[in-house]
Structure 1
């Protein structure tokens, strides 16, 4: 992992899961990571097998120029990669093991940018891994990302993160409370309240 957003949310996921292979969705507290909410998403597996967005942060929706709630996760990707993306997402749930994607995003007018995407399993109250907590973040800042929507993501690499990678060395990551204390929140109070409420519903 190279992007601070994915590093921080992975660290948070590790903290709340403790000794378990995956945390309960009720353990996710939006107030613990307020500065990350706009880049986070939650996926759910439907009975028909589709994996869809239950929640997508404002920055993710802005990247694609639309509200992604209820949309299939694979719809963001190049057509020939839909099956691979869905299999990987199901693997994260089935094996309770996080996955990391490296992808290239292409805009509707031909721009391109590198992205890092992480997905981590969440368990429901009855014990099944049926939700995914994740983040999408550009590897480097690009001014056009705030103006021109992405048309699709093309997968460059994906990998499951085995147990030996699931505990991050303390020197690599600062505690979440130190990060929050050292930075101001970078998005509007109203939108933060909406996203926090949606995540709070997920935690029940």
Structure 2
């Protein structure tokens, strides 16, 4: 992580979880992180099994030029990545391992900018992880981001973040894509391999 927004929200999430793999969703206190709220989102799995925005901060909605509440998270991504992004978000909840994306955002006017996106699992009182806390932050300031909405995000790189075992698993680097992602190895399979490797190594310790 290189951006202060993603560092701050990860540190907050990490402090809340203590020795557990994920904090309870009821532990999130907006008043404790007022400077981050506009860049944060919460995802949840709906009855249709798709992962949708429960909440999205004002800066995130402004980036895409619309209110994202109720929209599928995968809809923000390039064609060819929708299923893999949704599968990965589900994997973060299933395995309770936070994930960091480096992505490039593209506008219809031809602009592009780099982003960091983090997703961290939240547990329900029943014990399962059924929501994700996350943040989207641009890597550099760009004046056009305030007036031209993003059309899509394309994945560059992904990493599984977990300090419980003192190491970090990383998926293969990705080149930015515009729309044709089918020629690349899919992100979802790479992340599932990384998760499997990470969990297998942890179990062997």
SS of the equivalent of 2:11 reads helix
**How many residue pairs were aligned?**
167
SS of the equivalent of 2:9 reads helix
- 1:106 Cα offset (Å): 0.3
Larger RCO (CA under 8 A, 6+ residues apart): 1
Q: What's 1:53 paired with?
A: 53
Describe the shift of the 1:166–1:52 C-alpha distance in structure 2 as closer, same or farther (beyond 3 A): farther
Question: Deviations 1:168-193 (Å, cap 9, x if unpaired)?
Answer: xxxxxxxxxxxxxxxxxxxxxxxxxx
Question: TM-score, normalization: structure 2?
Answer: 0.79
What residue ranges of structure 2 are gaps of 5+ in the alignment? 169-205
Counterparts of 1:91-170 in structure 2, within 5 Å, are 91-162=91-162, 163-164=164-165
- 1:166 Cα offset (Å): 8.2
What residue ranges of structure 1 are gaps of 5+ in the alignment? 168-204
Q: What's 1:68 paired with?
A: 68
Q: What's 2:197 paired with?
A: none
RMSD, matched Cα: 1.3
Quick check: 1:14–1:166 contact (8 Å CA) kept in 2? Answer: no
Equivalent-residue separation in structure 2 for 1:135 and 1:165 (angstroms): 23
Question: TM-score, normalization: structure 1?
Answer: 0.79
- 1:165 Cα offset (Å): 5.6
- 1:48 Cα offset (Å): 2.0
Greater percentage in helix: 1
Counterparts of 1:167-182 in structure 2, within 5 Å, are none
Q: What's 1:10 paired with?
A: 10
